[in-house]
Structure 1
Amino acid sequence: MSAEPAEQKTVKPWVYRVMPVEGEDNKKWDLHKVRTSKHTHFHTVKEAVAAAHEEAGTHPAHIVIHALDGHAYREYDLS
Structure 2
Amino acid sequence: MEIVMSTATLDRKAVKRAIFHVQPCDGTDGNKWDLHKFRTSKHQYFRTQKEALAAAHVAVGSQPAHVVMHARDGHAYREFDLN
Aligned residue type for 1:73: Y
User: How far apart are the structure 2 equivalents of 1:23 and 1:45?
Assistant: 13
Alignment TM-score, normalising by the size of structure 1 = 0.88
Residue 50, structure 1, aligned to residue 54, structure 2: yes
Q: Determine which of 14, 17, 20 is the counterpart of 2:18.
A: 14
Which sections of structure 1, spanning at least 5 residues, go unmatched? 1-5
- Measure how far apart 1:13 and its partner are: 1.0
Per-residue CA distance 1:19-76 (angstroms, 9 max, x = gap): 1000010100000000111000000010001100110011110000100011111110
Q: Which structure shows the bigger proportion of residues in helix conformation? A: 2
Query: May I ask how many residue pairs the two structures share in their alignment?
Result: 74
Aligned residue type for 1:40: Q
Alignment TM-score, normalising by the size of structure 2 = 0.84
Q: Determine which of 76, 79, 82 is the counterpart of 1:75.
A: 79
Percent identity over paired residues: 55
> How big is the alpha-carbon RMSD for the aligned residues of Structure 1 and Structure 2?
1.1
Structure 1: 4+ residue segments shifted above 4 A: none
